[in-house]
Structure 1
Amino acid sequence: MRKTLYIIGLSAFVFSCAPQKKVVKTTYKPKNPVTQPKTVVKTPMAEKPKPQITNDHGVEFFTTNIADPTKNDNTASYGSIVSAKPSGYKVVKTYFPAVAQNFRQKYLILHYTAIPDDKSITVLTQQAVSAHYLVNNLGDNEIYQLVDENKRAYHAGISSWRSDKNLNDNSIGIEIVNAGYTTDATGKRIFAPFSDDQVKKVAALAKDIATRYQIPATNVLAHSDIAPTRKQDPGPMFPWKKLYDEYQIGMWYDEAAKQSIFELAQTDFQTRYNEASFIFLIQTALQKFGYGIEPSGAWDDATKKTIEAFQYHFRPQNYDGIMDAETWAILQALNQKYPVK
């Protein structure tokens, strides 16, 4: 028995001390190895070179538009580039200009001064009212600039047109020397005419401004358009149709469209004139066109003054502030031609 146990123990010892065979794990290898996709390295597109900023005696200018004019974007500057000068740091124009920008100058507003040339200059330069330009009545070729186009002039006051308010913020103002109006025995306002020289000056000036700043026809307006309950200027004697026909400035209706509407409008005035719903419709049409009127359904004072302002601009033969079929037809024709976008 002992001998047997001895032999078993010796065998176990020999086995434990003998070299062990290495166990090799097998790994599955597919017949067709999978090819890893190559990483595509995108080559950055070269940025389109921008026109250079010009430097004149240390003053910088950029007068080339590289933005999209169809979006009313414009990178050109009409004047020197104004830049910050932070203490201890340098402002560089390595990436100037960004294309996402447009002009502050969105409106062109026309006025008359209601006082003579010399007084107009004094008031517009020395008092708390101003305009960017003043067109005199001296028969010369001069137009006075009073305010930098990049700054606000105090010419519009409390004002609105369509969705915009306080138009001093985004407009250029042109004052025209003119006597304004007097009142006759019946209380009717009699307005003074503008000279041919003045009209030519205003047309040339307005054309230049509207072209440079891409100001649309709907934004070339009278002071009375943007403040109808307060202002009358430049009044019914200002030749808006002449500016439209001869210089392509501002708005005017199409005669054929107006006549077509006029034939239908006469029936409305015979049967519906004093209906609140019809008055509300007219007020809403004035508001849609751009006037800052709140529809009330009544022929109130604000409505009368707004109609009067509309007639100054688009129906100067009759500016009594009473809505008639022709004025109504003109308003509808204008809303068709110049819809709110």
Structure 2
Amino acid sequence: MKYLALIFLLMLSGCSGLKIDDSYQSEGHDSRVQFIVLHYTASDLPRSLQLLTGDQVSSHYLIAEQPATVYRLVDENRRAWHAGDSQWSGRTWLNATSIGIEMVNRGYITGPDGEKVWQTWSDQQIDTLIVLLKDIMQRHNLTPASIVGHSDIAPQRKVDPGPLFPWQRLAHEGLIDWPNPQAVAFYLTEFSQQMPSVEWFQQQLAKIGYAVPEHGELDQATRNVLAAFQMKYRPQRYDGEPDAQTAAMLLALSTQFNR
């Protein structure tokens, strides 16, 4: 009995004496990281650090504005709490499969007429983000389809990183996919003559990765997803209304996704 109790105590203490042979290694594995999610903090640096180092919300990295310092707050092998209730390409609750990058940016203030006045992004901060993204993507063997915004994975409740975030700059660096301009122009001619149905818009959004209803009704949930797509790819107008240009960009992008 004493012998069994000793074995139990040794196992609890991690000193069981178990020998593990590491001479064989499987090739059937990849990184747990499948996505990189971009956020803004909606606060200044001191408040951002205070919030992100507490026990309620966290991210793997925080990028300050001036100077554009990169703070590593959570090891990439650990799960940070940044995505919340989220979905992309059929995966849910993306904390477990993503790296979260928060950027110090106040987001927006509400103007006197109720309109949102968005804060611009500094070139230095975006330059630093690009270097960090390239490093993460290379180490985890990620594709351009892996980088998303919080508004992409949670369009019913989030708008960050917002319409002024320079997604096209990331596209120019090869970090995200972007609708081919020639394809957009071609499809725009077609859709200007006849708009596709709401169900078509929902199907194309789903192909790209968005969690969207597919019942053919232009409800608020569908408008929110359309607005998230427009904010990213056509930030000049992101009212959530289906239109010919949005349709053309959607088809150009979904065709690229499904080659």
State whether TM-score is above 0.5. Answer: yes
What is the CA-CA distance between 1:217 and the residue it aligns to? 1.1
Q: Offset at 1:310?
A: 0.4
Q: State the partner residue of 1:117.
A: 45
SS of residue paired to 1:110: strand
In structure 2, what is the equivalent of residue 209 of structure 1? 136
State the distance in 2 between where 1:182 and 1:261 align.
36
Determine if contact 2:62/2:101 at 8 Å carries over to the other structure: yes
Task: Select the residue among 285, 289, 298 that pairs with 2:217.
Answer: 298
RMSD across aligned positions (CA): 1.6
Query: Counterpart in 2 of 1:333?
Result: 252
Could you tell me which amino acid in structure 1 is paired with residue 22 of structure 2? K
What is the match of residue 94 of structure 1? 23
Partner of 1:66: none
Per the TM alignment, residue 86 of structure 1 is displaced from its structure 2 partner at its CA by 5.7
Residue 148 of structure 2 is aligned to residue 227 of structure 1: no
| Residues 283-336 of structure 1: CA deviation (Å, up to 9, x unaligned) | 111112111011122211101111110011111111111121111110110001
| Amino acid corresponding to residue 59 of structure 2 in structure 1 | A
> Deviation digits for residues 142-199 of structure 1, max 9, x if unmatched?
2000001011000111111112111111100100000111233554323211101100
Counterpart position of 2:9: none
Q: Give the 5 Å matches for 1:61-76.
A: none
Offset from partner CA, 1:206-234 (integer Å, 9 cap, x none): 11101111111111100100000110000
TM-score (norm 1): 0.70
Q: Which amino acid aligns with 2:62?
A: L
1:172 counterpart letter in structure 2: I
Aligned to 1:288, the other structure's residue is in SS state helix
CA distance in 1, matches of 2:113, 2:190: 33
In structure 2, distance between residues paired with 1:176 and 1:199: 9
> Matched residue of 1:126: which SS?
coil
SS in structure 1 at match of 2:134: helix
Counterparts of 2:226 and 2:163 in 1: how far apart (Å)? Answer: 13
AA aligned opposite 1:166: W
Relative to structure 1, the CA distance from residue 86 to residue 314 in structure 2 (aligned partners, 3 Å threshold; closer, same or farther) is farther
Q: Which residue identity lines up with residue 189 of structure 1 in the other structure? A: K
CA–CA distance in structure 1, aligned partners of residues 87 and 80 of structure 2:
16
What is the Cα deviation at residue 124 of structure 1?
Answer: 0.3
Aligned with 2:167 (options 240, 249, 274) = 240
Letter in 2 for 1:321: G
Aligned to 2:239: 320
Which of 257, 279, 286 in structure 1 is aligned with 2:198? 279
User: How many pairs are equivalent?
Assistant: 247
Of 157, 160, 174, 2:87 maps to: 160
Residue of structure 2 equivalent to 1:266: 192
2:180 corresponding residue in structure 1: 254
Aligned amino acid, residue 311 of structure 1: Q
Amino acid aligned to 2:17: G
Of structures 1 and 2, the one scoring higher in RCO (CA 8 A, sep 6+) is: 2
AA at the equivalent of 1:264? E
- Identify the match of residue 310 of structure 1 among 229, 236, 250: 229
Q: 5+ unaligned residues in a row in structure 2: which ranges?
A: 1-13
Structure with greater helix percent: 2
Is the 8 Å Cα contact of residues 108 and 215 (structure 1) preserved in structure 2? no
- Whether 1:190 and 2:109 are equivalent positions in the alignment is no
Runs of 4+ in 1 over 4 A off after TM superposition: none
Contact 1:111 1:175 in 2 (8 A): yes
Identity %: 39
Q: Distance in 1 between matches of 2:109 and 2:232?
A: 19
